Chains A and B, each alone.
Chain A
Amino acid sequence: MSESTGPAGPPQSTHPIMGPDDVARALRRMAHEIVERHRGSNNLVVVGVQRGGAPLAAYLAAQLSDILEAPLEHVDLDVSFFRDDIGSAPLKDAAPTTLSRDLRGRVVILVDDVLFTGRTVRAALNALLSFGRPDAVDLAVLVDRGHRELPLRADYVGKNLPTSREERVRAGLDGVWIERAS
């Protein structure tokens, strides 16, 4: 999230690290891993971190409901008001949060596009807790690019992608690219 630029804008690098088919396959594999870990559980809710995680969460929820043969709820969560860089970086425009119910007793699959420093995930965890106390929270990311600044890890990873700090990673349903900082 922190280093992805979202779905808009053409990628700068010429060839994608992953194409749309690779992304779809990775998300399907992650859906199977989620089902394996939470076999028999009927209290899953997929929460996409705005903005990059939202379309991935929608796709992942659709895959999960295919596998489970049951509808599965997916909602979006904006974490702007929980960030730790408020006042020290320009504000990000808040995106809609469609999560509105209490999460008590639910198992949350938190979905984001890129796991980098971990600060967005930290904000998301705090934001989630203002919806009550879920039974568990798992983290699913399309790309783990390393360089963590907080003790966090993902439970389901689409692709581990070694990067330098200066690079930018763009990840979405349309593919994954590394962009050199200009």
Chain B
Amino acid sequence: MSSNHPGLSNNFSRSGEKFSWSKDNLRSIKNIISKYPKGREQSAVMPLLYLAQEQNNNWISIECIETIAETLNMPKIRVTEVASFYSMYNTRPVGENLVQICRTSPCWLRGSNKITKTICKETKCEINDTSDDNKFTVVEVECLGACSNGPMIQINNDFFEDLDEESTKKIIDNIKEGKPNVIGSQKGRRSSENA
């Protein structure tokens, strides 16, 4: 492994570009903050980090942290603490597709090792690395909560379940070629009905 999980690093970096909220996000922020009592706006730090990550190509830069701190009127170190605590906030740039492979026991028993190998081979990058074409970043994660459909992976916001080596390769190939993928079970199951 060349480096650690992008969400588990305590080192943040600058993107070099100014980060300011998009219009849509400004509207959502107003809505989110209104859910908390007055004077407790800081409670909205987690949803705001999520929005910032979405807007900022899937990672949190120092500029994002500073914008959030300003929006919520809280110390920057407090935002940094939260962003570094949770592994789902990436602290460094990741590829267009963040491939998270579940390696917890149920998926592992059903062969997540093979899935990992296939993905690494197909994307040409090691775990925790980003591919040269910046298309993929591959990471191993703990349980994503779809145990009955293991082995499974998450790519950006979508789950791909009931995988085997073949279907995994196809998913990666489709992404490379820009073709749409079937989300969810690759064996045609609806949610987690009996196979």
Chain A complexes with chain B? no
Q: Could you tell me which A residues sit within 8 Å of B by CB distance? A: none
